[in-house]
Structure 1
Amino acid sequence: MKNINLKIADITQEDVCAVVNAANSSLLGGGGVDGAIHRAGGEQILSECKKLRASLHPDGLPTGEAVATTAGNMRAKYVIHTVGPVYSSCKNRCEELLANCYINSLKAASELKCHSISFPAISTGIYGYPKGEAAKVAYKSVKSFLETNQSMEVNFVFSSKESYDIFADAVKEL
């Protein structure tokens, strides 16, 4: 699809309207992409996340939901935080929950009038979602959303050639 791009890059350096953070439910930072985004964006992201926890999400952000904050010191204007499913404990809802991460992030970007967004491979790190399976869910979800929102440019950003290749191969199978 013409407005979907795959690339190997540092998501914190993306020059887009919004980058997606594969967050944990606390919204207060963590490891992997989450930690990298919080470090690159600085205190402003954490400050806004604390406000979200104090108001809209006192028990944490539910899996599959998405919320936006500033991107702080990053090139992007916004960070859209979404919590992916932990593969070993999402039972028969894994695909639905992961699809919701992508769809709800895209909806948030659309509400912010963003025309460009970059995603990491949500839930494929410590949350254990098999990369090939996750790639198919991600691509189908984004493609479906773009059928009615054709002005959005979507990037899937990978930190390694291995992850890029797994995603590209999985998409070819669709």
Structure 2
Amino acid sequence: MLIAFNKPFNVLCQFTDRSQPPRATLAGFGLPPNVYAAGRLDYDSEGLLLLTDNGSLAHRLTDPKHKQPKTYWVQVEGVASEDKLQALRDGVQLNDGPTLPARVQLLEDAPALWERDPPVRFRKTVPDAWLAVTITEGRNRQVRRMTAAVGLPTLRLVRASMGPHALGDLQPGRWREV
């Protein structure tokens, strides 16, 4: 079984949380029993999370040697100049080594997304931009660290697709079998 789930903002990619106070987890969304996340999506990120009850499928989806592309819509603070975009495309140096090259596109318009709660703070004097970033690695907070490394801090990050699986019109907190 493979489940596509639209993980809301500030939800953990696990079914339990021992922190105090406890945070929202996957347990609150009526997912089928015996599935677990194939990969992770940060607590403060949103979008497509794949869950499965099949260990070998989870491995194929997440093992870096399979180089499954993951595409993110990223709202960044600042002016996304061509030199900054090219630096992301070439790969940037992070504290744990250089990243592989990424596919990066400046989006003309913001993607049609749901409202986030709480919303990203709008500042009239600070420009922002939306990027589509596709990577084949899966390091901890990689896209956020990449955009910060080129001077474009991430304001909002939504995973739109993972391999051949896309978020589509799935609303936050909803899931479907694929």
Normalised TM-score (structure 1): 0.29
Which entry has the higher C-alpha Rg, 1 or 2? 2
Between 1 and 2, higher relative CO (CA 8 Å, sep ≥ 6) is seen in: 2
As a proportion of its length, which structure holds more helix? 1
TM-score (norm 2): 0.28
